[in-house]
Amino acid sequence: MLDEKNLQKPLEEREDIIVVKDLNKWYGKLHVLKDVDVNVKQGEVVVILGPSGSGKSTFIRTINALEEFQKGEIIVDEINLSHDVSNIDAIRKETGMVFQQFNLFPHMTILKNITLAPIWVRKWKREKAEKVAMELLERVGIPEQAHKYPGQLSGGQQQRVAIARALAMQPRIMLFDEPTSALDPEMIKEVLDVMKTLAKSGMTMLVVTHEMNFAREVADRIILFDEGEIIEQGTPEELFDNPKHERTKLFLSQIL
């Protein structure tokens, strides 16, 4: 496990918490990730941009061991995913994931949704799990919703529950795959605000999003994917104000 003291150092002096080397993945004949190399520092916030179908979801799902890969190496908090499938459970404990669709269990209360995995996977007592769940609901700003069911909440509230649920497992890394894409515009901000606070708390985050203001404001680094390859990466200033590659310029011209 990486040292918490690591977080007090400037970003460039910190240890890597994620190391991806020469990652290649195919779906049948379709080569979806091509020689991807990414290192992420502890506490770093990385935003992943790219056109639809460029491999963004596949990339972060592979880091969370939701997808297999055929070539290369992935090391998450010193756990090597490449060699041994028995590491999958360990990796899943390290990483929390938030999806576009909130994927809450509809027949369970908000509190049950959040305490389920800590009780079953972490073997916490119910009292402890509920205490932590309530603290997390405070943190995402909806403690009063604890005893309701997902269907009674707005989309923005449900996504905040999904974030709280992921945090309940005390992950060291949070992965977000277009967390605001399914939300009505007026609810996007409340979810992004929770993510911003989380980023400021020192959480390592990989975020696939089309929210360019969020990317500019919160990202330490932006990575642009196209056709399964990393085309360009850099700070928000480098990428938005001074893009080097034609494909980056083209992508930015289409979304900004």
User: Interface residues with ligand ADP (CB under 6 A)?
Assistant: 27, 30, 32, 50, 52-58
Cα separation, 234 vs 4, whole angstroms: 25
- Give the residue with the Cβ less far from Mg ion, 57 or 204: 57
Residue 150 binds which entry of ligand ADP, Mg ion, none, with Cβ cut-offs from 5 to 8 Å by kind?
none
- Give the residue with the Cβ less far from Mg ion, 130 or 178: 178
Shortest distance in whole angstroms from residue 67 CB to ligand ADP: 8
Tokens at 216, concatenated: 């500019």
Tokens at 225, concatenated: 């994917």
- Give the residue with the Cβ less far from ligand ADP, 220 or 229: 229
Shortest distance in whole angstroms from residue 254 CB to ligand ADP: 14
Contact 146, 137 (CB under 8 A): yes
- Give the residue with the Cβ less far from Mg ion, 57 or 180: 57
- CB under 8 A, 24+ apart: contacts of 7-13: 7/42, 7/43, 7/202, 11/41, 11/43, 11/44, 11/220, 12/41
Q: Specify the pairing of strand 30-41 against strand 16-27.
A: antiparallel
Shortest distance in whole angstroms from residue 58 CB to ligand ADP: 3
Largest CA distance in the chain: 55
Shortest distance in whole angstroms from residue 125 CB to ligand ADP: 38
Cα separation, 155 vs 103, whole angstroms: 11
Shortest distance in whole angstroms from residue 10 CB to Mg ion: 32
Helix (H, G, I), strand (E, B) or coil at 42: coil
Contact 95, 63 (CB under 8 A): yes
Tokens at 47, concatenated: 């935003």
Residue 120 binds which entry of ligand ADP, Mg ion, none, with Cβ cut-offs from 5 to 8 Å by kind?
none
Residue 237 binds which entry of Mg ion, ligand ADP, none, with Cβ cut-offs from 5 to 8 Å by kind?
none
Site string for Mg ion, 55-84 (x = CB under 5 A): --x---------------------------
Residue 52 binds which entry of Mg ion, ligand ADP, none, with Cβ cut-offs from 5 to 8 Å by kind?
ligand ADP
Site residues, Mg ion (CB under 5 A): 57
